[in-house]
Structure 1
């Protein structure tokens, strides 16, 4: 494993640690505002932080602007459908179905960058799926799909596309520009539906929480994702992303006193094994599949 690969893996660990910590925070904030308003504030503070980086890097990356705008729209759809889906399904089912991007990502990677799944990585994917199901307390018995579940499947698919395209575009575009543009695009896309979001009164603690979601869990986390996906192939990276629900469980235990079941503990252990297998699997070169400048 090269030094830059280690840094990329560390970037994903930091990103999943931050995103895992947002679960209990978002759960608390949803007691005071709607999911769409929360998203709007999150994108607002992300965009404020991203604007200087967008301006600084615009000139040398402007020929790829339309590609990154499309990437931002895809990411907005992923967040939006995940949020809408949560209004019609349980949080455990939402977490499991969203985690199915570990299945969709290799499919899109095969289509976009012609990557073949290795046996070692395939085993890690199977372990990750089982681990997610145990962590979310999902069983096949009585598992019926409702409207919210189907909407959440759209979220999983769009997250997969965003991961693969980020891997491709990061080879030819500055990663700061990619992250900054996505943040600004997500804010602008959502603005027409939430034009009055700033009129909602916020307590100082709520404001600080939203600033954290927009900065560390928004722009900085997406920047870490973009950096990591520049040097790791999507199949490998997506298994590492499953650390997010593990960290979410830890933070939920600390902040909300939620306890994992025995199955959840086993699931978290399987996810850690899957992560180790993915981290030590061979990285495939994708340069020949990247769109030329």
Structure 2
């Protein structure tokens, strides 16, 4: 069910991009997400430290850049191709962990990466 909903968002965003510009769409998505999450996590938000806030801004900038590039890229390719390319990023995570933390991926990660490349 999660894959169905996640995959269908590419089609929906591709259609929306025919009516609006990518960065405008991103702005609407981020503002809406900020409002909804601020309402849901209001009590925890009051306890946020300066360090938490700065860390959140840094993570948010990287997330925004990644999603903006993905949204702009959707203009130039099909929704199914982009969903596939985005999905293959999941396969890369164990290898990034290997680089950063020196924690070698298991055999299943290597098999998954090999199958994704094929």
The alignment of Structure 1 onto Structure 2 pairs a total of residues equal to: 116
Query: Counterpart of 1:43 in 2: which secondary structure?
Result: helix
Alignment of 1:129-278 (within 5 A): 129-130=117-118
Shift of 1:59: 4.5
Alpha-carbon contact 1:86-1:94 (below 8 Å) kept: yes
Specify the alignment match of 2:15 in structure 1: 28
Query: Counterpart of 2:26 in 1: which secondary structure?
Result: helix
Specify the alignment match of 2:69 in structure 1: 81
Distance 2:52 2:61 in 1: 15
TM-score, L = length of structure 2? 0.74
Specify the alignment match of 1:127 in structure 2: 115
Shift of 1:122: 1.4
The 1:61/1:111 distance shift into structure 2, 3 A limit, reads farther
Query: Counterpart of 1:33 in 2: which secondary structure?
Result: coil
Gaps of 5+ in 2: none
- CA RMSD, Structure 1 to Structure 2 (Å): 2.5
More relative contact order in 1 or in 2 (CA 8 Å, sep 6+)? 1
Specify the alignment match of 1:46 in structure 2: 33
Query: Counterpart of 2:104 in 1: which secondary structure?
Result: coil
Query: Counterpart of 1:32 in 2: which secondary structure?
Result: coil
TM-score, L = length of structure 1? 0.35
Shift of 1:99: 3.6
Distance 2:62 2:82 in 1: 19
Distance 1:114 1:58 in 2: 34
Alpha-carbon contact 2:91-2:113 (below 8 Å) kept: yes
Alpha-carbon contact 1:36-1:80 (below 8 Å) kept: yes
Alpha-carbon contact 2:23-2:68 (below 8 Å) kept: yes
Specify the alignment match of 1:102 in structure 2: 90
The 1:40/1:116 distance shift into structure 2, 3 A limit, reads same
The 1:97/1:110 distance shift into structure 2, 3 A limit, reads same
Alpha-carbon contact 1:102-1:125 (below 8 Å) kept: no
Alpha-carbon contact 2:95-2:104 (below 8 Å) kept: no
Structure with max Cα Rg: 1
Query: Counterpart of 2:82 in 1: which secondary structure?
Result: helix
Specify the alignment match of 2:6 in structure 1: 19
